[in-house]
Structure 1
């Protein structure tokens, strides 16, 4: 589980699954659009990392930045479990992919 591509795939499943769950529970189109978009970024980043193609780590890091940018302000404002959980996922991604990116430089 220490492989960054595996971690990117896991985050892709979590975010896309979360967006789909949000849509099923509430009918929220923004939830499914955001979840699928961030999930796609993580998934594409994971594929690029696994295939040793350029910009895979950067793509996963971008997904984490997008997720953090949308979830952290909501977590602070609402103090609800879902935005806090998304913020934790984003923080993990920022730490993990930021560390890998810095090690590559």
Structure 2
């Protein structure tokens, strides 16, 4: 009889990830923490094209990563975060692409 070990493996990896995260946060919190961090969201569209993914998938993949980074900044006590995610030149893109980017934010 075959046992489903996917859940066990997932739980083990999740626990290991949390332990590693706590360890890294502990090390980072020992030094001076920056007051301000800026993120420039760039390359999501190139990533999708290079990976032969549908238009917009790169942006949808990048958004959860940004949310994770913002959560980490909060947990580490970073007071100010700037996110540069859309330039005025991006309005030159197809209207449906601009709309989907706006909906992500």
* TM superposition score normalised by structure 2: 0.33
Which structure: greater strand fraction?
Answer: 2
Which structure carries more helix by proportion?
1
**Which structure is higher in RCO with an 8 Å CA cutoff and minimum separation 6?**
2
Bigger Rg, which one: 2
